[in-house]
Amino acid sequence: MQYAPGPMSPHLSRRTWIAGALAGAAAVGLAYRSQSALAEDEVVLEEATSEFNHIVVAERGSVRTMYFVVDGTYYIESRLDRSHANSLDLDYSRTMMAGFMLKPKPKSLLLIGFGGGQISNYLFERIEGLQVDGVDIDPEVVRLARKYFDVPDDPAYRTHVDDGRLFVEHAAPQTKWDMIMLDAFRGVFVPFHLKTREYYELLLSHLAPGGVVVANLHKHTDIYPHDRNTFAEAFPGGYAFRSESGRQCTYVATASAEPVGAYAMRANARRADPLFDFDIMGLAARWYLERDWDAGSAVLRDDLPDGDTPRGADRHDSRCVGRGCHDRARAD
């Protein structure tokens, strides 16, 4: 794995990076989205094992959850409260609406990491004429999302079974999106080729004028400072928003270096407010400027030769499958 070291930052080996990212995420960053077992009154609706994931869809009362199970731990991938079907049940998903502070009226959405489709379902229901492309590498995830999580059957709402990097690479150069959301977690980690400067530059080339890239980042992991420095190098503009719990950061990256201030963000929030059923103005107030990461941490760079993305993507996507995946990753 290759890095572009920042000032006073050591070169990191593949083994060190993966071990730190997995251990940090498992220990702290994702704890609130994981549990060791299903609740006693939680009923399994369906269970599936694919090349990429062990997936459990379970229901407790009106709440339906898609879990990814890794080494016996149940990681919440998506959650739907059927008594409030058109709401966002998870803190992080509400915080990812921070993209509307910079782009209040998007017409097209690309979601990398589909899960149960709750974010795209929510926005498709609320934004008239929105064009949605939801991408997930796991066909079982897409199938279960459509079966249990009310994904609309509509030609304007498209789901794609593909790697999130290859899908964008294969898109026509003129294909542009107003909003690109990144949420492609595989339990406790994001495949490395979806976190590099080269990938972010590819996304930048597919942003419509005034468009934004919205990323779900975990602040209490070893990878967080590398994420922040990689985004800062790839995009001219960037804005960080705290989640309600304070454990996560939604980072909104833009193609413009022209700064957007608090008053402009609040004006955008007022424009977007009719779309939402939660305090979007309060989300605008969670924009923060203080540095909460090491600016000397290495920028993440591709570890594959030019033109060899498919092979590299296959290696990264299959890195952590089934029991013992953490040990295999540390030894890679």
∠ CA 122-114-102, rounded to 5°: 55
The amino acid occupying position 203 is: L
* Residue 150 lies in domain: 3-317
Q: What is the dihedral of CA 52, 298, 252, 171, to 10 degrees?
A: -50
Q: Is residue 331 part of a domain?
A: no
Q: Is residue 329 part of a domain?
A: no
Please tell me whether residue 110 adopts helix, strand or coil conformation.
strand
Q: Is residue 332 part of a domain?
A: no
Q: Is residue 322 part of a domain?
A: no
236, 256 in Cβ contact below 8 A?
yes
Q: Is residue 328 part of a domain?
A: no
Q: Tokens in use for 280?
A: 């979007």
Q: Is residue 323 part of a domain?
A: no
Query: How many other CB atoms are found less than 10 A from the CB of residue 164?
Result: 28
Q: Is residue 212 part of a domain?
A: yes
Burial class (CB in 10 A: 0-12, 13-18, 19+), 281: middle
Cα-flanking dihedrals φ and ψ of residue 202, to 5°? Answer: -65, -45
Residue with tokens 């996304």: 203
Q: Is residue 190 part of a domain?
A: yes
pLDDT per residue as tens, the chain (332 positions) = 233 333 333 334 344 444 444 444 433 334 446 788 899 999 999 999 999 999 999 999 999 999 999 889 999 999 999 998 889 988 999 999 999 999 999 999 999 999 999 999 999 999 999 999 999 999 999 999 999 999 999 999 999 999 999 999 999 999 999 999 999 976 567 888 999 999 999 999 999 999 999 999 988 888 999 999 999 999 999 999 999 988 899 999 999 999 999 999 999 999 999 999 999 999 999 999 999 999 999 999 988 766 666 655 665 555 543 333 223 222 22
What is the number of domains present in the chain?
1
Q: Give how far Cα 200 sits from Cα of 55, 166, 191, 194, Å.
A: 28, 13, 14, 8
Q: Could you give the CA distance from residue 129 to residue 146 in angstroms, rounded to a whole number? A: 21
Task: Write the CATH number for 71.
Answer: 3.40.50.150
> Which pTM was predicted?
0.85
